[in-house]
Amino acid sequence: HSGAWANFFQSLMEMKANTENPADFWAAFNFWVFFAVGHPILQPILQISDVLHGSPGPMVADLVPVTFLLGNIVAIGAFALSSEIRSAVNVFALSAFIAYVGAGLDGKAGLGDYNLALDDNYQGKVVHGCPTYEEVRQPSMADFDLKKYQGMWYEHKFHDWTQFKEVYDTSLDIKLTPDGKGWIDDFGVKGPAPASARLSWDKSPVANGAH
């Protein structure tokens, strides 16, 4: 993904050069970093959680299966005693992280929900960063009644790297402010989805929903 990384850094430098207030640039960049890092970290966490709740054997303190505990002791011991194992795991983890983020930068490896590109194509032209409403507004929106936007909305599908594919039952209850120029929303979500963590999804603190 070297080409995607090169385009990313070039776009980043252009953004920095064209942003008058440095604080605005770093706020946007930190927002990007949060989600770029959050996605690849969440994947192994869910996998480890499934291993934890799927491990056989009696429970220790009614919390952890003894086989999972023994496996951790063996892994920690190997890390402590072997510098070669530590180095190999560190190199693998760093390489996997760089490749995963790179896949998000160029939309490869089937990661359609992990689109990290700063520039995107819209109607055959490159849109730098997040497009303005005027850039994407369609003629069909001329008679749009904002009041009809109020109510309960349910997420059906998304193509947005700021969303986590591991959640489900996402809803948004929207009400306009009294002046009609803003809105108040109640965002609801459950997670992780059963398909993302088959053995441990119901152990999540937000398995039954959070707002």
CB 161, CB 113: distance < 8 Å: yes
Which tokens sit at 155? 């997420």
Name the H helices within 59-142. Answer: 66-81, 83-106, 133-136
Q: What pLDDT does 189 receive? A: 86
Instruction: Report helix, strand or coil for 84.
Output: helix
**CA separation (Å) from 181 to 27, 83, 143, 152?**
25, 60, 16, 19
pLDDT at 131: 57
Residues 6+ apart with CB under 8 A from 121: 127
The whole-model pTM stands at 0.61
Residue 134: the pLDDT is 66
The pLDDT profile of the chain, 211 residues, written as one tens digit per residue, is 888 889 888 888 888 888 888 888 898 888 888 888 888 888 888 888 888 888 999 998 888 899 999 999 999 999 999 999 999 999 999 999 998 888 888 766 554 456 777 665 556 665 555 555 666 678 888 887 878 889 999 988 766 555 666 788 889 999 988 877 777 889 888 888 888 788 888 888 888 888 8
Q: Which two tokens stand for residue 13?
A: 């430098």
- Say how many C-beta atoms besides its own lie within 10 A of residue 99's C-beta: 14
User: Which tokens is 152 given?
Assistant: 């309960």
